[in-house]
A = this chain, B = another copy of it.
């Protein structure tokens, strides 16, 4: 495979604020194995609300703008790296295509770390069970704890034998942190400067709001099966007239009420964009004869083919 010449690999944490916890009871805990319990005082100063951003900068990028990969719910930035089946993911694809690449872990996920609940976060974390991922990521119509009995789509592009490896990437999520997450994404974008954002699922709404707040920082936006968008009645989408939008959808959406709901909602948003002269490209992969893609289309067997579509679209739609 093609090598890349790298100027720097690095990372930063951004966003959030310092808080002080007090009045929480101290408790005895065994902190080191084999040692007697010691008193742990959970009070004091902490940072909360930060996110984590990792970058790989090429010596001679071909694109003047970096690609920023924003993950979806219940995942971390690791989803853009090596695929569950061991193949190269979109991080390597876009580096080899000549882009600087930024990968982030959203607030509360992965290397961003997370904060105590209910003292800082107001709700409990949610852990995604296998069955939920199997069905809502559209690997197949029916999950079963017995590998032999679970049902995958006959045309599934997701490497079903690597499903455990997808679940190993799964991280807990909270439902109460959207505002602080958005604030961290806004700061991230401000720091990195004009970028091409590729956002998956839950990441789509954060990307779109970030673009609405700082349109000059976004050169193009690629939305991979976004699960939500702002209501067009509450935002001024005409601010996005200079930001080409690419939506990409996989297969089997019609089999799931939740996906029909999401799709319908995003279609309304698309119409609002078009009415406001925002350039929109809308790709439903099955219409192009590309069948069987799951919600994790950048993890699917044909991920390079879809990345090539995105790269080609970026080339045409950015200067």
Residues of A in contact with B (beta carbons under 8 Å apart): 1, 3-13, 16, 18, 20-21, 27, 29-33, 40-47, 50, 52, 54, 56, 59, 76-78, 81-82, 86, 88-89, 91-92, 95, 105, 110-111, 113-116, 123-124, 126-127, 129-132, 145, 164-165, 167-172, 175-176, 178, 227-228
A110 to B169, CA, bound (A): 11
A91 to B56, CA, bound (A): 12
Of the candidates B7, B40, B78, which one forms a contact with A11 in the assembled complex, judged by CB atoms under 8 Å apart?
B78
A129–B168 contact, CB under 8 A? no
Known: A40-B126, A47-B167. 9 other contacts (CB 8 A): A9-B9, A10-B92, A12-B82, A21-B129, A29-B126, A78-B111, A105-B110, A111-B171, A113-B168
- Closest Cβ of chain B to A247, distance in Å, is 19
- Closest Cβ of chain B to A89, distance in Å, is 8
With CB as the reference atom, state the residue of chain B lying closest to A17: B164
Of the candidates B9, B16, B45, which one forms a contact with A81 in the assembled complex, judged by CB atoms under 8 Å apart?
B9
In the complex, what residues of B have CB within 8 A of residue A41's CB?
129
B3–A45 contact, CB under 8 A? no
Task: Write 30 A-B pairs (CB below 8 A) sorted by A numbering.
Answer: A3-B6, A6-B6, A8-B88, A9-B95, A10-B81, A10-B82, A11-B78, A12-B165, A13-B78, A13-B165, A16-B168, A18-B130, A29-B123, A31-B126, A32-B227, A32-B228, A33-B175, A41-B129, A42-B126, A43-B129, A44-B130, A44-B131, A46-B127, A46-B129, A46-B167, A46-B170, A47-B164, A47-B170, A110-B113, A114-B171
